[in-house]
Structure 1
Amino acid sequence: MFHFSSSRRASLILAALGCTLLAQGAQAADPLTVGVLIPGSKSDKGWMESGFDGLTAAQKEFGAKIKVQMIENINYADMEQALTNLAGKNQLVIGVGGQTQAAVMKIAKRFPKTKFSIVGGSKGDGLPNVAGYDVKQAEIAFVAGAAAAMLSKTGAVSYVGGMEIPSIVNAGKEFGKGAAYINPKIKYFENYTGDFDNVAKSKEATLAAIAQGADVHYHILNLGLRGMEQAAKEKGTHIIGSYTDRCGSDPLYIAYSITGVGFQVQYAIKELVAGKWAAGYKPFGLAMGPAASDMKVCGATPEMKSKLEQIKKDILEGKIKVLEG
């Protein structure tokens, strides 16, 4: 049997305590794991790129506090498998786009301990581990329509959406209503390609609108936007971009609607880090401020800025009522 002096026992206790504290410190320093599914291309100049920008900003903000796994360019048929992969390895999984919602809701039931956030989520049957963030695209689409009517020289504007689902259709309707709010005689052309990434179909739809006089175009597309760009460049018309303010980067674009896709990706991660992440439906839109929803006209006159600000205010106050989505 070994006997230790009181001082020796105290040293051993302190050493053991020190090891425990070091272990606790190492455990506390473990990064929070975040999986991100970007169904399209992270360089699409649209929704997906905005989401990726938000992820990049979160990584810069939180550094070693988070560890990120990202999957991009996934077909609908492979979405559940991609989400399963992410859910098995991460504490939070973010689906960037409403098109991920059905798959997220299915996979979330299999991984009840994993948190899921859907950027572009809508109201529906809630799960205790799923948060749906509604970008409220219809709100800012109305403002974009108003801007388009102010910018149009021909009195005709157009919209091309991808999949013909409620949020995309509602945004198209509100864009047309916003244009008519400024110019009741405006001609408005609306088309859906059935695919956010089909370049040929979006070009064809835009060219058809141009043939009928449209000179300002709006969209909810991903890579399909390339087709709209090709048509506008060929015919000398212009585009109102979506999601991120890139004024001055391309003369084809004369304005941008901000729909805060990246803001919501960053928001989900920020809430996780702060220990405040909560399930349930959360509307964003104009009420969450300019980082979440705004309208930027490149080189806008003071009068134009004032009118657009008033329209945003009227939407927030309910004087102008817009559809959901």
Structure 2
Amino acid sequence: MPAALLPVRSTTLRLRGPFMHLTRRNLLATAASLAAVALASPGLAADPIKIGILIPGSKSDKGWMESGYDGLVAAQKANGDKIKVQVIENINYADMEQALTQLASANQLVIGVGGQTQAAVFKIAKRFPKTKFSIVGGNAGDSLPNVAGYDVKQAEIAFVAGAAAAMLSKTGAVSYVGGMEIPSIVNAGKEFGKGAKYINPDIKYFENYTGDFDNVAKSKEATLAAIAQGADVHYHILNLGLRGMEQAAKEKGTHIIGSYTNYCGTDPLYTAYSITGVGFQVRYAIDQIVAGTWAAGYKPFGLKMGPEASDIVVCSGTPEMKAKLDAIKADILAGRIKVLEG
């Protein structure tokens, strides 16, 4: 499988000198004493916590996977020698279980970046009960005592992105392209359309799914079809497939609301960005394991976890536009606007 691996350090303790003649009982007692000394000596650093990361797509996709990788880089910078990381990226779906098995065999925490890893994580986690697993993009449902699922709540911010798209559209038509047609991706698409109609009840909305987060040709085709019907602002949940949307928008002079990370000012194709905290959740999982507070179970993120977890940024938005979007976010948090799960 195509994989990028960071080596995992292994340490072997060899006994020499007087230790060679110790009885088993004395050896165990001496080992315990040495361990106690090590814990009490600030000069002796503990072994790093071994963390494995599965990034199914490309870490440079300008989307979900890149956001997850950026979170990993930030966590490495913050934790330094406290952690040792092994990464596998850009693999086929059929190879996911094998990749997770490799990571689980060598690490104390394994993070699956993407809801598409969830089924494989739950399968492998049963075989490695002493290894902890975190799923970035996990949904409520099955549970195991060694698995944490972090829900990014994409549908929440998709509603807000739809409202922003309606404000930005000059033609009164907007579009959405998703990858795999799974509940979280579909629900985000539905909420994007609802958010657009919240601002403009007469807006035209086009929704399409390519069946593949990375298929450039299909996402370009879907975007061109929407443009042909008048759409001038596009939203997405894609990985490398985003390249196809970019190609279509550039050719036809339309614009994109990006996902996951604020890159305002770097590309005129993008008029706004939604932040869905993929990297934030990767950092959260790592910070929790380092602090000793990691916990299994389902945990929703979304707007309630703050702007690093979920937000919208309009690159050249007016104060009035920001105020309206802030009010929509507040209404979602208060339950006055109800959105689908996902």
Matching residue of 2:334: 317
Structure 2 letter corresponding to 1:223 = L
Alignment partner of 2:180 out of 160, 163, 176: 163
Separation in 1, partners of 2:133, 2:173: 42
Are residue 57 (structure 1) and residue 74 (structure 2) matched?
Answer: yes
Alignment partner of 2:262 out of 231, 234, 245: 245
Are residue 140 (structure 1) and residue 157 (structure 2) matched?
Answer: yes
In structure 2, the CA distance between the partners of 1:107 and 1:42, relative to structure 1 (3 Å rule), is same
Matching residue of 2:98: 81
Structure 2 letter corresponding to 1:141 = A
Are residue 266 (structure 1) and residue 283 (structure 2) matched?
Answer: yes
Matching residue of 1:275: 292
* Secondary structure class of the residue paired with 1:141: helix
Separation in 1, partners of 2:265, 2:190: 28
Matching residue of 2:242: 225
> What is the Cα deviation at residue 21 of structure 1?
2.1
Matches within 5 A, 1:169-184: 169-184=186-201
Alignment partner of 2:89 out of 48, 53, 72: 72
Are residue 107 (structure 1) and residue 131 (structure 2) matched?
Answer: no
> What is the Cα deviation at residue 19 of structure 1?
9.1
Are residue 116 (structure 1) and residue 133 (structure 2) matched?
Answer: yes
Matching residue of 1:150: 167
Separation in 2, partners of 1:297, 1:127: 40
> What is the Cα deviation at residue 83 of structure 1?
0.2
Separation in 2, partners of 1:301, 1:268: 36
Alignment partner of 1:303 out of 303, 320, 324: 320
> What is the Cα deviation at residue 299 of structure 1?
1.1
Alignment partner of 2:217 out of 189, 200, 207: 200
Question: What is the total number of aligned residue pairs between the two structures?
Answer: 310
Structure 2 residues not aligned, in runs of 5+: 1-31
Matching residue of 2:226: 209
* Secondary structure class of the residue paired with 2:101: helix
* Secondary structure class of the residue paired with 2:208: strand
Runs of 4+ deviating beyond 4 Å: 16-20, 22-28
Separation in 2, partners of 1:19, 1:124: 41
Identical aligned pairs, as a percentage?
A: 84
Separation in 2, partners of 1:53, 1:246: 13
Separation in 1, partners of 2:281, 2:313: 19
Separation in 1, partners of 2:71, 2:80: 14
> What is the Cα deviation at residue 48 of structure 1?
0.0
Q: 1:79-136 deviations in whole A, cap 9, x for unaligned? A: 0000000000000000000000000000000000000000000011100000000000
> What is the Cα deviation at residue 18 of structure 1?
8.2
Structure 1 residues not aligned, in runs of 5+: 1-15
Matching residue of 1:185: 202
Matching residue of 2:23: none
Separation in 2, partners of 1:215, 1:304: 18
Separation in 2, partners of 1:176, 1:282: 26
Q: What TM-score comes out, normalization by structure 1 length?
A: 0.93
Separation in 1, partners of 2:124, 2:154: 26
